[in-house]
Structure 1
């Protein structure tokens, strides 16, 4: 059964396409050498996007790996980005954060515990030293809103949000992804969407070979909305870096952390080059909202599943979680070394 009939399933397919095929082939610019990180349901306190594509400098992304697989939150970034090359008292080495130093001290201890800075005590002072320079690894951030059925009412609901995205310019580029209809003029082109926002029309075919399983047609090219003073806007740079760090740490496959793979009905099925969740009880792909402990069809895995060839600490659900976690890890490694891996 086609998983893209719901917005959740469509979003997963778009994310998988972006991992393997970004940027769109019809882009006007030269072919990009950027490494790509993809995340879903990510944003700021005021705005959350369906899909985020972080275009990275390959060498910078490889250098970022020195600081571990987990994200660096805003407090840790303050420490890591400003840690000195030689030993220094942390209050001399770091700029004033705008909040009490005791929170910085706690962040220093956390950073040292994770091995992203070195720490030592000299008398009653805590000194720090960097383990490596924090790299400039983020080139561009692209935001995508996924609306499989972009009718007039959906476009009206999106228009205000997209206009705000263009005006705030936290992302360098904004797109809307929708289903292709095959008409001479895609209906999305006739809807009330800001002119600076690009439009991608998708067709998916699970039986097509290789990358043919997903076809993304650029119906409208987006405008670059990066402000002219972007390099001097430290608040914008910091917010974007925090967003990129969250994408680095989470990845889009994190849906298995909010759904219930420990249910006996939870399955993963291949669609093209994507692995998407499927509910055997409902006999169809489920949404993230449906797949919860409150679901009437939820049944825990039988205990015998956890002893018959599976690790004692978990059954097939743990195996699915490990599989998706492992896919997230090799995607990060693949983008770091610049290779395209087919799975």
Structure 2
């Protein structure tokens, strides 16, 4: 099974069984941004999760959250930021666009305020590394060692379809949990065969241990013979990175795939989620990288044969709200003042 298909089906199964937010392919490093990508991130709801859903469906820019902008008196936007003016300008425009800031003009100057206090909306963060075939581990050990030593997430888990041996367990940090994913190969695949429920069973081989996210973390940067270059990441930097990770997950979700314009593609329902299934390849496919004229089974059509609003599906099946009412005192965009 491809890692892409494994990832989508696991996300569908977790979404059906847990409350909270799931997202795919998010940055999991701090000192070297982009060097570690977490396959799946699960965000457990915090005490004020419901308040977060009323503000915006999108990720709130980190610069907007760090700015000295409150919910009371509006302030001149340039006085609120301690960063490059271009970054501040982009943050203001995006925050106004998504409804987190409201903007007003006074004597030719733009003033901003938050529409609502930023809530304490996220709890435990779980990073899930997907490796369906442990016979082809790639950089698995190094990735999981980074997750455990940096402790950006509260828990780290390895998910696999392979039979897990003691040798496998001994090669990864003890704090990392291990799930074995069992798939029901006899289950119907959706489309004309009808809906599918609970086609995946998750067997817990080892529970994850809590990671020390409140203390400084160690992030490996480069490996050399006899030494490893590292960075010490302070608790404060980790806290900001955790907030960025949670916000990115909230806005992005895990339904970031496309349906190909190919007659061979049919809907696959897994735990209530609609996935792109190729009848020719007999598996879930990544339309952005696998589908097209180079594929022997490609049957071009003008438009995708699957018509599913993935945002509406997420809205219906989770606590995330696609179109919140928002809290702006007046609906206004920057173009109002141009």
2:182 is the alignment partner of 1:197: no
Work out the CA distance in 1 between the residues paired with 2:119 and 2:261: 39
- TM-score, length of structure 2 as denominator length: 0.75
Q: Which residue of 1 aligns with 2:257?
A: 255
| 8 Å Cα contact 2:153-2:213 kept in structure 1 | no
| 8 Å Cα contact 2:133-2:162 kept in structure 1 | no
Q: CA deviation at 1:277?
A: 1.8
- Label 1:237 to 1:294 Cα distance change in 2 as closer, same or farther (>3 A): farther
- Label 1:249 to 1:296 Cα distance change in 2 as closer, same or farther (>3 A): farther
| 8 Å Cα contact 1:189-1:219 kept in structure 2 | no
Work out the CA distance in 2 between the residues paired with 1:210 and 1:282: 19
Work out the CA distance in 2 between the residues paired with 1:202 and 1:95: 46
Match runs of 1:166-245 below 5 Å: 166-179=148-161, 181=163, 186=165, 189-205=168-184, 207=187, 212-229=198-215, 233-245=235-247
| 8 Å Cα contact 2:69-2:113 kept in structure 1 | no
Q: CA deviation at 1:64?
A: 1.3
Work out the CA distance in 2 between the residues paired with 1:162 and 1:136: 28
Moved more, 269-278 or 243-252: 269-278
Work out the CA distance in 2 between the residues paired with 1:253 and 1:103: 28
Unaligned stretches of 5+ residues in structure 1: 23-34, 303-313, 337-343
- TM-score, length of structure 1 as denominator length: 0.74
Q: Which residue of 2 aligns with 1:72?
A: 60
| 8 Å Cα contact 2:314-2:320 kept in structure 1 | no
- Label 1:84 to 1:233 Cα distance change in 2 as closer, same or farther (>3 A): farther
- Label 1:220 to 1:110 Cα distance change in 2 as closer, same or farther (>3 A): closer
Work out the CA distance in 2 between the residues paired with 1:132 and 1:234: 24
- Label 1:157 to 1:210 Cα distance change in 2 as closer, same or farther (>3 A): same
| 8 Å Cα contact 2:266-2:279 kept in structure 1 | yes
2:295 is the alignment partner of 1:291: no
Work out the CA distance in 2 between the residues paired with 1:177 and 1:10: 9
Instruction: Tell me which of 1, 18, 22 is aligned to 2:14.
Output: 18
Unaligned stretches of 5+ residues in structure 2: 29-33, 189-194, 217-233, 323-338
Q: CA deviation at 1:187?
A: 5.5
| 8 Å Cα contact 1:213-1:273 kept in structure 2 | no
The structure showing larger relative contact order (alpha-carbon pairs under 8 Å, at least 6 residues apart) is 2
Moved more, 204-213 or 81-90: 204-213
Instruction: Tell me which of 15, 21, 32 is aligned to 1:37.
Output: 21
- Label 1:67 to 1:38 Cα distance change in 2 as closer, same or farther (>3 A): same
Q: CA deviation at 1:164?
A: 1.0
Q: Which residue of 1 aligns with 2:267?
A: 268
Q: CA deviation at 1:55?
A: 1.0
Q: What secondary structure sits across from 2:13 in the alignment?
A: helix
Q: Which has the higher strand share?
A: 2
1:277-325 deviation per Cα after TM superposition (whole angstroms, max 9, x unaligned): 21134344334532356545444324xxxxxxxxxxx6634x23x2x23
| 8 Å Cα contact 1:175-1:198 kept in structure 2 | yes
| 8 Å Cα contact 1:180-1:186 kept in structure 2 | no
Q: Which residue of 2 aligns with 1:29?
A: none
RMSD over aligned CA atoms reads 3.0
